[in-house]
Amino acid sequence: MQISINSVSVENLQAVLDLRVAPDQISYIESTAQCLQEAEECSCYVPVALYADDELVGFAMYGFFPDEYESGRVWLDRFLIGAQYQGRGLGRIMLSALLDRLTEQFGPSDIYLSLYDDNQGALRLYEKFGFRFNGESDLNGEKVMVRPQTTQEKHKPFL
């Protein structure tokens, strides 16, 4: 399977906007339209389209936020696989590719994300990659998880 992470562009915008998560996941993540609006308002965000064998299967948004704490933070702020593509291992594959992209783009650093702690599917996936709760909550009441740079290689699951 060939994986690619591409910019959201005029060519793929409608397909990105059409991505939907499963009905029981809607309360856990913003729509792609909301995410793209936030990216318009904050230049720190990088929205990307996730492809498997040239087919759009997901969406993510990440960025470096220099004003957070002393040295800034790298965030994987949004991550979703379209409902029709779930259950095929694509979450694990795409998360691995995204984490590699973040390391390439921002260098070795702690990577942060947040989620509602009752989102058990996402929680299990993130824990497999070495993310752990750090005791913080974000503005929406989501729990913050961090993947320390010192543990990244030993927590990379087999693909």
Kindly list the catalytic residues.
Answer: 126
Strand pairing category for 111-115 and 73-81 = parallel
Beta strands in the chain (DSSP E): 3-7, 45-52, 55-65, 73-81, 111-115, 132-137, 143-147
Q: d(Cα 100, Cα 85) in Å, to the nearest integer?
A: 22
Alpha-carbon distances of 61 from 18, 44, 123, 151, rounded to whole Å: 16, 10, 18, 23
